[in-house]
């Protein structure tokens, strides 16, 4: 037993070291990687723009008004950590809350509320890899001054699995459920039980949840299987601590300003729905926060936002394609920053459609578009052409996958002819789209590419958002565009999305080899083996065209010169630099 533990603990140590190294290497890899994002205008060549060079000052030295004015494009869907799914909400949650761990600018896991990152060495991870013990720092408090105790994390985890809530991100944390209870719930679901019938199973999951707080400063997560990425999961918002007493008292409205109590760098002082949000420095935050206030305006129209930025009413603004062109050759060039995002956009094929079931048709379509034209001419360098699913800048990216669809128009035509549509005669396809100007433009470009390069007939059908998702979920489409953005920088966040029956898998792609590889990788502890399994899976999914990638997204922003310490990141949410707003300060606004 003892010998087993020793070799096991070696493995785990190696695993963790490898994980950290891999993440670090992947980031610096983007130097040499020709498909890496272009550097920022003040860049130092490492693929992500350097944080502005000034050293962090002492809060006492700051003389100017420390207010940051930023923008969101839409109302946050929910400021409930266990329920939020949209990036506007997550951007705010990152300011309001702090978790046990967080990722730093180099995507390395650091301790946040915990004293240190748990490892096998420091006893934070048990030898069998199933128990994670976090020791909280001393003196942690909520924004109302109440002490933050470990129970708050238990409350958060339990809430994630609240019976009847069916929270999307609960799926990510299934490792926390007691194995037996989880299995029975899955069986019940598979048996078609629903609603109230499921309740006893769900309650069993919650009561069997292996999260506990043996004392006020210790949080223990008991996993039902080894999970190589659990530390990454501990950095995310669904396991943020919550004030159960406030949830109990206020019900669904507990997230409103004036009611909610949080523990992050900022507190929510005002929330005028659809209008603006006001965050102020949380005096009780354990992090050093330099800003006094963040004022967030909800501005859906990008032309108006651009005007507001030019009138100094916004300090940071994202640029759309039209604004980008206007920035060229103007003074604003000095305020421009460009960086990659861990986002891949492309289109799904509906595998239930008889025409698209022929792999030759899919391959022809995938090779029948010149991605470089889209990224270079239509989007003018704001995005990068994509041939793989996992984007560059994170582990799991494969620069070689999908190359058969590059510069291969002749082959595309051959494939089409093999499928029985010589010169595209007789093939009529429909792209299903929802409203959105960038989306429509993309669909129109695809349509034109296929009609010109392959000679087929393509129509575009647009629907309002709700009808679109209904039709998409029902599988009433042939081709529809979409994609994914990373929740955390690991292929485990990307590949399982195409498992048979998965939620994002709108086209019903199903490949047993793929499923087997992904499921095996899920519990594989050897990082090299794990990444290799994911690589094989990605190759299958691209060869088989579960998804046809089009571009990797980038972000282009303008930042006022008086904003210091901004750290744009490829992992951020909808507000540029939002992962590290606690490092921002204002100097030189005059």
Q: Which of residues 64, 65, 283, 435 is near another protein by CB under 8 A?
A: 435
Q: Which of residues 279, 370, 541, 559 is near another protein by CB under 8 A?
A: 370
The Cα 567–Cα 24 span in angstroms is 17
Q: Is 377 in the site for another protein (CB under 8 A)?
A: yes
State the DSSP string of 191-202.
Answer: TT--GGGGHHHH
Measured between its terminal Cα atoms, the distance across the chain in Å is 67
Q: Is 200 in the site for another protein (CB under 8 A)?
A: no
DSSP three-state, residue 133: strand
Q: Give the other-Cβ count within 10 Å of 58's Cβ.
A: 8
Instruction: Write the binding mask 138 to 167 for another protein: x where contact by CB under 8 A, - elsewhere.
Output: --------------------------xxx-
Q: Is 470 in the site for another protein (CB under 8 A)?
A: yes
Question: Residue 111 or residue 307: which is nearer to another protein going by CB?
Answer: 307
Question: Residue 118 or residue 483: which is nearer to another protein going by CB?
Answer: 483
Q: Which of residues 21, 24, 189, 249 is near another protein by CB under 8 A?
A: 189
CB 502, min distance to another protein, A: 8
CB 505, min distance to another protein, A: 8
Instruction: Write the binding mask 494 to 513 for another protein: x where contact by CB under 8 A, - elsewhere.
Output: ---------xx-x-------
Per-residue HEC secondary structure of 32-83 comes to CCCCCCCCCCCCCCCCCCCCCCCCCCCHHHCCCCCEEEEEECCCCCCCCCCC
Question: Residue 122 or residue 473: which is nearer to another protein going by CB?
Answer: 473
Task: To the nearest 10°, report the CA torsion of 323, 324, 327, 333.
Answer: 140
Instruction: Give Cα 285 distance to the centre of its chain.
Output: 25
How many residues of this chain interact with another protein, rule: CB under 8 A? 100
The Cα 484–Cα 501 span in angstroms is 17
Q: Is 113 in the site for another protein (CB under 8 A)?
A: no
Q: Is 35 in the site for another protein (CB under 8 A)?
A: yes
Q: Which of residues 6, 28, 85, 357 is near another protein by CB under 8 A?
A: 85
Q: Is 258 in the site for another protein (CB under 8 A)?
A: no
CB 232 within 8 A of CB 252: no
CB 490, min distance to another protein, A: 17
Residues 268-327 that bind another protein (CB under 8 A): 273-276, 297-301, 303-304, 306-308, 310-311, 313, 321-327
The one segment of 9-17, 193-201, 279-287, 417-425 that binds another protein by CB under 8 A: 193-201
Question: Residue 6 or residue 437: which is nearer to another protein going by CB?
Answer: 437
Residues 326-355 that bind another protein (CB under 8 A): 326-329, 333, 336, 338
Cβ-defined contacts of 463-470 (< 8 Å, 24+): 463/432, 463/433, 463/434, 464/434, 464/435, 465/434, 465/435, 468/432, 468/433, 468/434, 469/434
Of 418, 479, 488, the C-alpha closest to 454 is: 418
Q: Is 461 in the site for another protein (CB under 8 A)?
A: yes
Question: Residue 13 or residue 504: which is nearer to another protein going by CB?
Answer: 504
State the DSSP string of 142-207.
Answer: -TTSPBP-THHHHHHHHHHT-TTT--GGGGGGGGGS-HHHHHHHHHHHHTT--GGGGHHHHHHHHH
Question: Residue 484 or residue 580: which is nearer to another protein going by CB?
Answer: 484
Question: Residue 23 or residue 383: which is nearer to another protein going by CB?
Answer: 383
For residue 92, the number of C-alpha atoms closer than 13 Å in the C-beta half-sphere is 34
């Amino acid at each position: 037993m003892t010998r087993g533990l020793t070799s096991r603990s070696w493995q785990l140590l190696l695993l963790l070291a490898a994980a950290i190294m891999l993440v670090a290497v992947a980031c610096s890899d983007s130097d040499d990687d020709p498909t890496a994002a272009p550097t920022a205008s003040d860049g130092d060549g490492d693929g992500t723009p350097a944080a502005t060079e000034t050293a962090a000052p002492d809060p006492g030295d700051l003389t100017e008004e420390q207010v940051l004015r930023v923008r969101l494009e839409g109302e946050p869907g929910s400021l409930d950590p266990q329920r939020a799914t949209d990036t506007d909400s997550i951007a705010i949650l990152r300011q309001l809350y702090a978790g046990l761990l967080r990722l730093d600018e180099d995507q390395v896991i650091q301790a946040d509320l915990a004293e240190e990152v748990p490892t096998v060495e420091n006893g934070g991870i048990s030898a069998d890899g199933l128990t994670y013990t976090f020791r909280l720092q001393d003196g942690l408090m909520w924004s109302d001054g109440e002490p933050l105790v470990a129970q708050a994390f238990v409350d958060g985890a339990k809430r994630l699995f609240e019976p009847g809530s069916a929270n999307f991100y609960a799926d990510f944390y299934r490792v926390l459920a007691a194995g037996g209870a989880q299995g029975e719930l899955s069986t019940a679901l598979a048996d078609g039980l629903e609603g109230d019938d499921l309740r006893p199973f769900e309650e069993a999951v919650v009561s069997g949840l292996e999260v506990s707080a043996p004392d006020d400063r210790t949080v223990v997560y008991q996993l039902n299987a080894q999970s190589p990425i659990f530390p990454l999961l501990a950095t995310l918002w669904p396991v943020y601590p919550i004030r159960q007493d406030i949830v109990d008292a206020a019900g669904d409205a507990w997230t409103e300003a004036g009611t909610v109590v949080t523990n992050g760098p900022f507190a929510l002082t005002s929330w005028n729905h659809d209008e603006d949000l006001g965050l102020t420095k949380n005096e009780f935050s354990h992090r050093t926060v330099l800003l006094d206030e963040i004022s967030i305006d909800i501005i859906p129209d990008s032309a108006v936002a651009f005007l507001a930025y030019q009138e100094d009413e916004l300090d940071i603004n994202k640029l759309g394609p039209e604004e980008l062109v206007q920035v060229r050759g103007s003074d604003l060039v000095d305020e421009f920053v460009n960086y990659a995002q861990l986002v891949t956009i492309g289109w799904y094929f509906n595998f239930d459609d008889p025409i698209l079931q022929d792999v030759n048709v899919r391959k022809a379509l995938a090779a029948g578009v010149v991605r470089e034209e889209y990224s270079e001419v239509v989007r003018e360098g704001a995005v990068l052409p994509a041939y793989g699913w996992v984007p560059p800048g994170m582990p799991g990216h494969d620069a070689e996958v999908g190359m058969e669809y590059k510069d291969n128009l002749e082959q595309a035509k051959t494939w089409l002819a093999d499928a029985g549509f010589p010169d595209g005669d007789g093939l009529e396809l429909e792209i299903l789209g929802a409203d959105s100007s960038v989306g429509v433009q993309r669909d129109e470009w695809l349509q034109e590419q296929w009609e010109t390069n392959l000679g087929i007939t393509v129509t575009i059908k647009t629907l309002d958002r709700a009808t679109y998702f209904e039709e998409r979920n029902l599988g009433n489409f042939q081709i529809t565009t979409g994609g994914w953005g990373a929740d955390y920088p690991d292929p485990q966040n990307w590949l399982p999305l195409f498992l048979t029956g998965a939620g994002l898998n709108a086209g019903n792609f199903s490949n047993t080899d793929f499923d087997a590889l992904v499921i095996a990788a899920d519990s594989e502890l050897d990082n090299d083996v794990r990444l290799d399994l994911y690589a094989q899976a990605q190759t299958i999914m691209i060869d088989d065209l579960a998804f046809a990638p089009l571009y990797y997204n980038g972000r282009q922003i303008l930042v006022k010169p008086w904003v210091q310490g901004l750290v744009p990141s490829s992992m951020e949410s909808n507000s540029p630099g939002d992962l590290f707003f606690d490092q921002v300060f204002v100097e030189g606004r005059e």
